[in-house]
Amino acid sequence: MKRQVSVIGIGAGNPEYVTMQAIKALNRVSVFFIPNKGDDKADLHHLRREICERYIEGDAYRLVDFDIPERSKAGAYKSDVAAWRAEVRRIYETLLTDELGADEVGGFLVWGDPSLYDGTMEILDTIRDEGRMDLDYEVIPGISSVSALAARHRIALNRIGEPLTITTARLVSQGLPETGGNVVVMLDSRSAYHQVDPDLDIHWGAYIGTDDEILVAGRLRDVREEIDRRRAAARDEKGWVMDTYMLSRGKG
């Protein structure tokens, strides 16, 4: 039996970021697999359910919750991620085998955009390539936190004739890339902006597009302590922070 899956980008946190293409895909899905990442991230769990309730016509679908294991941080980063994805892959295989019937379509609702900072497609590719399951899937793009950050700050991501680099805090803490141009950093749990030139400009945002949104912009040396304070307060209140920021040289 061929199993059909839709990987649907649901945007960066605002239900209104869901695109018309995504809404059409939502209405083709029979079974949604909803990840549970613990009480601290219950907001993310509830948002996925809210999106289904808001945009799906009728009730001819069901939701299947599943627990996401915590990633070990005991070893090297890449090996820890590989081991974690292998564990998630086994969970996905079980879900697709046990919960998805003939002629049904399964759905994974991916935060932001499935092509950016997410491993769902790679996990599904591995399941398919291993040959234990006849699997086909489609991907519906979503509005990423990067796009939403630029829109909320009313800035362009690129500069004329210059590249745009999207990278991780892990790499930025070792130094900015030598490609030039603006640099977007995602999910900085280590405050890597303290390790770069304080004369850079920063446009920072957390919980972008939601009622809890926080935006800070300015010369890095002037605003980094404010970002520290607001991140710490938000994490204490909610138990988690999703943030994104762009570093750039001032215009003059």
Q: Are residues 10 and 122 in the same domain?
A: yes
Closest C-alpha among 155, 159, 187, 157 to residue 173: 187
**Boundary (domain end) residue, out of 140, 161, 178:** 140
Q: Are residues 14 and 126 in the same domain?
A: yes
Cα separation, 48 vs 52, whole angstroms: 6
Q: What CATH number did the domain enclosing 37 receive?
A: 3.40.1010.10
Residue 250, token pair as written in the block: 């001032």
Predicted pLDDT at 82? 86
126-170 per-position pLDDT tens digit: 999 988 889 999 999 999 999 999 999 999 999 888 999 999 998
Predicted pLDDT at 141? 97
Which residue carries 């499935």 as its tokens?
Answer: 114
185-213 per-position pLDDT tens digit: 998 988 999 999 999 999 999 999 888 99
> How many domains does the chain fold into?
2
**Boundary (domain end) residue, out of 140, 165, 190:** 140
Structural domain range at position 36: 3-140
Q: Are residues 107 and 149 in the same domain?
A: no
Q: Are residues 132 and 150 in the same domain?
A: no
Residue 109 pairs in a beta bridge with: 8
The share of the chain scoring above pLDDT 90, in percent, equals 67
The confidence band for 215, taking pLDDT boundaries of 50, 70 and 90, is very high
40-94 per-position pLDDT tens digit: 567 778 889 999 999 999 999 999 999 888 877 766 778 888 888 899 999 999 9
Predicted pLDDT at 252? 40
Q: Are strands 243-248 and 182-186 parallel, antiparallel or unpaired?
A: antiparallel
